[in-house]
Structure 1
Amino acid sequence: MPNVFDPPQLDLLGGPAGPTRVHRLFFALMPDEATRDAFSRIADALRRESPGFRARWVAPSRYHATLHFLGDHPMLREDIARAARQAGDALRAHAFDWTLDNLSTFRGREPPCVLRSDEVPRPLSELWQALREHLIRAGQGGQVSRTFTPHVTLGYSRSDMLPPRPVGPVTWRVEQLALIHSIVGQADYTTLQSWRLPG
Structure 2
Amino acid sequence: MPIRQTQPETRQLDLLGGSIASTELHRLFFALMPDDTTRARLAAAAEALRASHSGLRARWINPSRYHATLHFLGDHAALRPTLVDGAIAAADKIHAAPFAWTLDNASSFRGREPPCVLRGGEVPTPMEQLWQALRHALALAGQAGHLERNFTPHVTLAYSHGTMLEPAAIAPVTWQVTDFVLVHNVVGQGSYQILGRWRMADS
Check whether TM > 0.5.
yes
C-alpha deviation, 1:25, in angstroms: 0.2
Counterparts in 2 of 1:57 and 1:86: CA distance versus 1, 3 Å:
same
C-alpha deviation, 1:105, in angstroms: 0.5
Match of 1:183 in 2: 186
Cα separation, 2, equivalents of 1:111 and 1:159? 6
Secondary structure of the 1:53 match is coil
| Match of residue 67, structure 1, among 66, 70, 76 | 70
Residue range with higher mean Cα deviation, 113-122 or 1-10: 1-10
Q: Deviations over 1:59-114 (max 9, x none)?
A: 11111100000001101122111111001111000110011110000001111100
Cα separation, 2, equivalents of 1:61 and 1:164? 25
C-alpha deviation, 1:137, in angstroms: 1.4
Secondary structure of the 2:151 match is coil
2:139 paired with 1:136 = yes
Cα separation, 2, equivalents of 1:38 and 1:86? 33
2:160 paired with 1:157 = yes
Unmatched runs of 5 consecutive residues or more in structure 2:
1-8
Secondary structure of the 2:176 match is strand
The within-5 A match list for 1:18-57 is 20-57=23-60
Aligned residues: 194
Match of 2:106 in 1: 103
Task: Using the aligned pairs only, state the percent identity.
Answer: 54
Residue range with higher mean Cα deviation, 21-30 or 71-80: 71-80
Match of 2:13 in 1: 5
Secondary structure of the 1:82 match is helix
Which segments of structure 1 move beyond 2 Å, counting only runs of 4 or more?
1-4, 8-11
The answer to whether the 8 A contact 1:53-1:159 is kept is no
C-alpha deviation, 1:147, in angstroms: 1.3
